[in-house]
Amino acid sequence: MNRLRIPLTAAFLLSIAAYSAFAQQYAQPGKFDLYLFTLSWSPQFCATATRDTAECHITNGNFVVHGLWPEFKNGSWPSSCSHAPGPSDPTLVADLMPDPSLVSHEWYTHGTCSALGVDGYFGLMRTVKKSVVIPQVFQQLSRTTWMAPSEIKARFTASNPEIQPEDMRIGCAGNNLVQVQICIAKNGKSTPCGTIRDCRASQIKVLPVLTPAQ
């Protein structure tokens, strides 16, 4: 089951309640197969968000980094592997995540399982972000559009020749685009996702990018 972007407090409570047993058994820093580099489609998140977040007030908001998640190829994942403190100043990673509460949540839930430490974890996240080119269509989308998940992958692979369709997963909910995920090996390069679940809808709705007026 892939994690979808829902308001942070609810996501945190769900992750603790639903996955605590799994985390207790397997949550060992560094023990996982790959990372899921997850790009949240901000227009969809902000259409349903109940909180006033920095993400929902950025100019021409399209994809925003949601996280870099240690993952097993069978679709399970470790969670909350230690109580190591997160960034002392979350604003130093605002270029990755504009919401400080998301920075804290992502470090505690996922970053502690990376075995990279704070600087290494967010450093790898920044490196991966810089390596991924957002297709032009998603930077300038001015109206609601319907796309097949395979088309979204094709747009990304055309802009990123080093990424293959099998290296990607599309996150959808209610036939809406929620997120795009790229499977990343521990060396920072894209890698096949294995059996990690993909969106099964034939067509999904892609809301237009955010503007200051929205």
Q: Name the catalytic one among 66, 71, 105, 162.
A: 66
Which residues, other chains included, contact 88 with Cβ-Cβ below 8 Å and sequence gap of 6+? none
Residue 166 structure tokens: 């099998």
Distance (Å) of CA 30 to CA 12, 37, 69: 22, 16, 12
Q: Name the catalytic one among 55, 71, 105, 110.
A: 110
CA angle, residues 190, 92, 99, in degrees to nearest 5: 80
Q: Taking each helix axis from N to C terminus, what angle separates 100-109 and 117-131, rounded to the nearest 10 degrees?
A: 110
Q: Name the catalytic one among 71, 105, 106, 162.
A: 106
| 57 classed as catalytic | no
| 105 classed as catalytic | no
Q: How far apart are CA 144 and CA 10, in angstroms?
A: 27
Looking up tokens 């909350």 gives 80
| 106 classed as catalytic | yes
Distance (Å) of CA 25 to CA 1, 19, 29, 117: 18, 10, 12, 21
Positions marked catalytic: 66, 106, 110
